[in-house]
Structure 1
Amino acid sequence: MKKGKVIGIGGVFFKSDNPQNAKDWYQKHLGFNTDDWGATFWWKDKDGKDATTQWSPFSSDTDYFEPSKKDFMFNYRVENLVELLAQLKEEGVTVVGEIQEFEYGKFGWILDNENNKIELWEPVDEAFK
């Protein structure tokens, strides 16, 4: 049985030739509440707790998505990141880098079966308030 699991989408990240123009366009035409990082969408989880999903354009020359060659990266909200990464490694999944911790959560990275970099986030949503 899995010790950790994906519980939702934490964010959608993509490369943009001009991230500021992308943020401005989405704000003007679709009403995104943008900031330096993109836009944060608030919602309630199944237990009624506040939760977030992040939308972020990155500069087209970012190396944050490496080693993937794709112009996008998904961020999945997870439970028990440390245990999940250990389990995935045992299953032969490529783990990229080391876990990083911030006041808004823990982050880890893996490559999927097509070498897309996937960001795994054990969130602390309260930090965004």
Structure 2
Amino acid sequence: MPVTGIGGLFFRSKDPKALGEWYLTHLGVGAPEGVWIWNQQAGPTVFQPFKADSDYYPAEQQTMLNLRVEGLDDLLASLRAAGIEVITKPEWDAHPEIGRFARIHDPEGNAIELWEPGAPPAG
């Protein structure tokens, strides 16, 4: 296959500079101003279309950013300490082999799913 991975994620913002700084400060996502490349760790990426009427994320959003994380509990504590609302639901974590999930929103209201992958099945 000629495609080797996702090359970028581009989205509109009312204040791109401030929103970019928010992502970098709170999630470590992106790169400092003037640097275009964010080198990330190799790992699983889910590419999945959802039904148009899905209620998994807000209907007014065409897409939802899902970020793969390590140390989800520490990250959530840091986000809460910064005054960022964190949403968790037991049903999101019903399959430990898939992993654990939490949801936050950026300052412009975009839903962001945080995913700590589970351990791969033994065998």
RMSD across aligned positions (CA): 2.9
SS in 2 for 1:86: helix
**Residue in structure 2 matched with residue 81 of structure 1 by the alignment:** 72
The TM-score, its normalising length taken from structure 1, stands at 0.54
CA apart distance, 1:104: 1.7
Structure 2 match to 1:93 = 84
The equivalent residue for 2:108 is 114
| Aligned partners of 1:75 and 1:120 also within 8 Å | yes
Cα distance in 2 for residues equivalent to 1:104 and 1:59: 21
Using the TM superposition, give the Cα deviation of residue 6 of structure 1 relative to its aligned residue in structure 2, in angstroms: 5.7
Do 1:78 and 1:121's aligned partners in 2 also have CA atoms closer than 8 Å?
A: yes
- Structure that is richer in strand per residue: 1
Paired position in structure 1 for 2:56:
64
Taking only the aligned residue pairs, the percentage that are identical comes to 37
Q: Deviation of residue 88 (structure 1)?
A: 0.2
Tell me how many residue pairs correspond in the alignment.
84
The unaligned stretches of length 5 or more in structure 1 are 8-43, 46-50
**1:123 Cα deviation from its structure 2 partner:** 1.0
Q: 1:97 to 1:69 in 2, by over 3 A?
A: farther
Deviation at 1:61, TM superposition (A): 0.7
Q: What amino acid is aligned across from residue 80 of structure 1 in structure 2? A: G
What displacement does 1:5 show?
A: 5.6
2:98 — aligned with what?
104
Q: Deviations over 1:4-31 (max 9, x none)?
A: 9668xxxxxxxxxxxxxxxxxxxxxxxx
Q: In structure 2, what residue type is equivalent to 1:92?
A: G
Q: How far did 1:93 drift?
A: 1.1
The unaligned stretches of length 5 or more in structure 2 are: 1-25, 30-40
